[in-house]
A = this chain, B = another copy of it.
Amino acid sequence: MTADSRPARYAYLGPQGTFTEAALLTLPGAAGAEHVPYSTVPAALEALRTNEVDTAVVALENSVEGSVPTTLDELATGEPLQIVGEIHLPVSFALLVRPGTTLDDIKTVASHPIAQPQCRRWLLDNVPDAEWRAATSNAEAAQHVADGHYDAALAGSFAAARYGLSVLAEDIHDVADAVTRFVVLNRPCMPPAPTGTDKTTVVAFIGEDHPGALLEILTEFSVRGINLTLIQSRPTGAGLGSYLFWMDFEGHVSDARVGEALMGLRRICADLRFVGSYARADETRPEIRRGTHDTDFTEAAAWLAAIRTPGA
């Protein structure tokens, strides 16, 4: 429940039956909440910004439904939103058909354009003569199959029930172990309390293009023993040589080493955006390097204070 006693509202990339909805359903708070599908990632984020919803779930890495660059760019340069959680969902495609359909019956296979190449080899081996048809999402493809427009859809098996379809084959994607990473977004807020297995995301903007710019940024992390888990450079669109770096790294903004590193970035970058601190989906505990525990920072600060003002 939210403050005004209406059920919490979650935006997601719809329609029903997408991987994003499946990710949303794994959230503890999702039960009893209202789930609102949007047809694009920007639309879902705009709904959050304008208070239509309280939370949004969107894909950030390796999405098979939406363009990851879109999410990165929206969070990096759009009106600020904050990541408060992440979800890892295995990519697992199934072939959905109307009950009774067999492989031999399949003349057309529909899916989002990004899903097709991921199942290419399976399709070549099993339905070599089927033609592929584009859909806005895999869930929409399933709807088209249910409506009789196409014979089969590539989608998550969880979408079958929603559209009255059967799973003719499971795990038909070519690359095993692929995972899509989704993020849970709020409007800017107090970060969730640290769990000990946290990750922080920032976007750093550099104003000039020189050989040491990225090295300077990474040194701010390295000198405090902080491990990066993701780095993506993107042009900012503000002219030649103007870049932003999206960086995910281990630790929580309330950690002393993270705080000092962020202040360091803040001082040297043209701009710095804090995008969130949140529990890691994989619950990996960081190895905290000698000299970078909170207690080390506290002891060093006391030591410095005693030098600056002896006897105080």
Binding site for B on A (CB under 8 A): 39-43, 62, 66-70, 112-114, 116-117, 120, 132-137, 140, 175, 177-178, 188-191, 209-212, 214-216, 218-223, 225-228, 230-233, 237, 240, 245, 253-254, 259-260, 262-264, 266-268, 272, 274, 282, 284, 287, 289-292, 296-297, 299-301, 303-304, 307-310
Contact = CB atoms under 8 A, between A and B. Distances in A.
A191 B263 CA distance: 27
Contacts of A262: 300, 304, 307
Contact of A67 (B114, B228, B289, B307): B114
5 contacts: A42-B117, A215-B221, A254-B308, A263-B304, A266-B300
A189 to B, nearest CB: 6
Contact of A296 (B40, B228, B267): B267
Q: Which 3 A-B pairs have the closest CB atoms?
A: A267-B291, A134-B136, A263-B300
Nearest to A221: B211
Given A218-B215, A230-B233, A268 B297 contact: no
**Which of A136, A189, A268 has the most C-beta atoms of chain B within 10 angstroms of its own C-beta?**
A268
Q: How many copies are assembled?
A: 4
Nearest to A309: B190
Contacts of A301: 263
B253 A308 contact: yes
A212 B222 contact: yes
Contacts of A223: 216, 219-220, 223, 264
Contact of A40 (B43, B116, B135, B304): B116
Contacts of A290: 268
Given A211-B228, A267-B296, 15 more contacts: A40-B117, A67-B117, A70-B117, A134-B134, A134-B140, A175-B237, A178-B237, A211-B225, A211-B226, A214-B228, A215-B221, A232-B232, A254-B308, A264-B300, A266-B299
Nearest to A217: B218
A69 B260 CA distance: 33
A70 B67 CA distance: 11
Contact of A68 (B69, B289, B307): B69
Contact of A222 (B40, B211, B267): B211
Given A40-B116, A219-B219, A300-B263, A291 B309 contact: no
A282 B235 CA distance: 14
A304 B42 contact: no
Contacts of A260: 260
B218 A218 contact: yes
Contacts of A230: 233
Contacts of A136: 113, 132-134
Contacts of A304: 253, 259, 262-263, 266
Given A222-B211, A240-B284, A292 B267 contact: yes
A215 to B, nearest CB: 5
A272 B221 CA distance: 22
